Structure 1
């Protein structure tokens, strides 16, 4: 009996503007090689994440051009979905494993299907217990929440912690976090570590205890029901008009007293919900800072422009189009582990390749056999 030939995994250099991450690290290359895979990395792929070509070679990877890597690839790794034109030399049936923005980049998904590729969207990973280690949205959001506070603190013209000096006392900054998912929880924790007085709100009532556990004050609408529990897949859903009105009134009264506001609210497949209006911004103190983590999806804050600091009514509004890319070494390390955990969980030793089960396979698979097959795109 002949040994199965190892899968060839191609790791591409990211080509999207501002993308500094990479989809494999020397740590995960070693682990993939140990599974029996042959890993090839495009020259220079890790440089923006502080990983040299020599680091990859030492871990057991081959280095080469994209064209050379892709010609024999069974699996193509990316952070963002590669241009279908770049994949023209890839054999039909090969996997493309990346964050593919299926709703925003539907034409690209269709092109993958037309090329006979099997596109696997890592952001469609179901939020179930056994898939936690594969969840790229959580790993990247965690660091994004941290970076949002650090960036806001850098832009804010005052100190975060209370400081008692011989010349007088500096009051602690007041920080309000809107949306208590993975990013929001990390934003709360980071602002607390920096010494701010932190409060937070969410439409999901279950987050009250999470907010309190981090030493922050929960700010919730009390007279109108929100979402009990966690909502679908751990995400919030759209609320009733009555709740939205009550929340807007509560936020308006609270936001006027805040120095820093971090907004994190997203609804998968839809534009980001508007949480802060221009009128509410006008009530804030001059010198306050709002960091909008939803800037790439249209923003939670009126007037936010991704990658620009916009000043309105003396308040600075900011948000990055790709917040994880501002921490490339750490976000790459976590993303690469997510991809390794995904492949290794389904690695069939006898076949020498990963074989997906129905639950996770159906969730992440966008295209197969020349067709778009994902229910979320066909519904």
Structure 2
């Protein structure tokens, strides 16, 4: 039997990346779970000579924290990452996780000190590689693309993926988390300003034209009110209203209320509803709409994803559908082709379907689960039909085999046979 070199190489690369991710997170996760906790105080900032030596680059700092271990030893440690704007300031209290055997290898319990960035890059590359691999399996009939453990075909079969559904789900896979992060980020900014912002009075001093470049390369402009105000220390600042005329009716000399965070007066905003809520509402609504679209695609909604005659989508019909019998006319696992016919079960439930005789379908992207027995021509399986739309919604349970019909024929073959009898 030929060795699946492509599958083994890709599997090795993925396992190697997962190992590197685990290695990066090993120490931090161990301290986070099993490390002792101590309260520390930020006593200073340590600068990085590696980053600060680069010309034109902002200086990078990491908090230096002092804490006392359970043995009474005073320890000073610095963070594991450097940033131009550390979230902790001198005098702030920070929680530290440390190992009793090596307290100087302590972990500051902040997002900045946890190696999320490098781990996310590696995991993101793994996800992209797996998605590309699955796409290759779907659009190609090359069996060498299968993984050695047959995990990807199992995933493909479980979610009924095909070249029609997969691109839509792939886009939603990236779009939904992006909208969730956008909602979280914009809402946090708004909530922080509304809860902790300092309010002062500002005045519209001018109306200036602003320019921006659109996606198609054209230059667009607008007239924006410019607002002057003084922060709590008396330092003057100028900000620009986010809405241009005619949406903004402010004119020179108007008085407005400005809200800003301490230490960030240049990022102040006019304290009005339209400066805070449009972005969170937009991202929140987009998240909801994309989730609804995701559910519709998963359920095989025909107006979203064209009908593919996939007999495994509507599994919910096992509990609500009308009993039927499906017979395999032709099945080719290598070419992923499945030809089947479904008839109502004459011995089944009393509920009968009006004007329904049988249906026949051809599925060109059939990837059976590894747990299913080999399916061959004539095999009969339990099927279920929607009582209202039996031709559009149906389900075949390939784990519920009820026999074999060696004389099974397609509708075309039956019609041809009837026509021959008439001609004789």
TM-score normalized by structure 2?
A: 0.20
Structure with more helix by fraction: 1
Structure with more strand by fraction: 2
Bigger Cα Rg: 2
TM-score normalized by structure 1?
A: 0.21
Structure scoring higher RCO (CA < 8 A, sep ≥ 6) equals 1
